[in-house]
Amino acid sequence: MYNVGMIKFKKNDAGVGALVAIEGQGDIPFSIARVYYITGVPQDAKRGAHAHRKLHQVLICLNGSVTIKVDNAGQQQEFLLDDPGEGLYIGPKVWREMYNFSPESVLMVLASATYDELDYIRDYHTYLQDTRGFFDKGETR
């Protein structure tokens, strides 16, 4: 998959609970401009179903679990996020869907830019048109 990958963070666990520290410089492949989190999602709900033109993000499931499906204009892969010690990097031009949120799940997202609705591609047909040829050339980021 292009512009997609798991990142492992260092977990400090000395038998009294785990501490994970994420440092912007070094652990995250972009400069963090925004943090948001998603909670209280009904188990049968689907979120996402869009791609971003320029945004880089890292998704971290702080509690519970959630499945993320990523799509490079046809090639698809599912990731189960159930460990707060790891994050899923998703770069530009990757379609994503989130589902199977477990009860009490908390999905935190680190983003490279502030919120901009113009950066979203929310229609799959438009997404396929906009990315035509992009993945064939092996372009990333």
- Residues taking part in catalysis: 50
Site string for ligand T46, 28-57 (x = CB under 6 A): ------x-x-x--------xx--------x
Angle, alpha carbons 107-91-57 (nearest 5°): 30
Amino acid (one-letter) located at 27: D
3-state secondary structure of 25: helix
Site string for ligand T46, 56-95 (x = CB under 6 A): -x-x------------------------------------
What is the rounded distance in angstroms from the CA atom of residue 81 to the CA atom of residue 114? 24
Residues in contact with ligand T46 by the rule CB under 6 A: 34, 36, 38, 47-48, 57, 59, 96, 109, 115
